[in-house]
Amino acid sequence: MKSVTIQVFGRVQGVGFRYLTKMVADKLNIKGTVANRNDGSVFIEAEGENDHLNEFINAVKMSPSPSGHVEKTTITEQTLQNFTDFRVTY
């Protein structure tokens, strides 16, 4: 198991990005949270098995929303938070 934070920059708010990110997370059994930030970015905490987490990160980088566009991501490893599900937060 691995845990990361991901900050996503680009056209990622107002395009269904968080909800489609949750759909990808649920499909890959990723646990964590996704939230909009005041600076226009999206902040994700995600944890799961390494292969699934890598697939999740790649999906986020490509933008799970067809209307979104990811310009940049920053990814930082963190200690496991032991999330029980994946939630969209505000």
Q: Report the distance separating Cα 46 and Cα 81, nearest Å.
A: 9
Q: What is the helix (H) or strand (E) element at residue 58, kind and residue range?
A: helix 50-62
Catalytic residue among 11, 36, 54, 87: 36
Residue 8 neighbours by CB distance under 10 Å: 24
Task: Extract the tokens encoding 28.
Answer: 């890959």
Cα–Cα nearest to 83, from 61, 53, 58? 53
Judge whether 18 counts as a catalytic residue. Answer: yes
| Residues that are catalytic | 18, 36
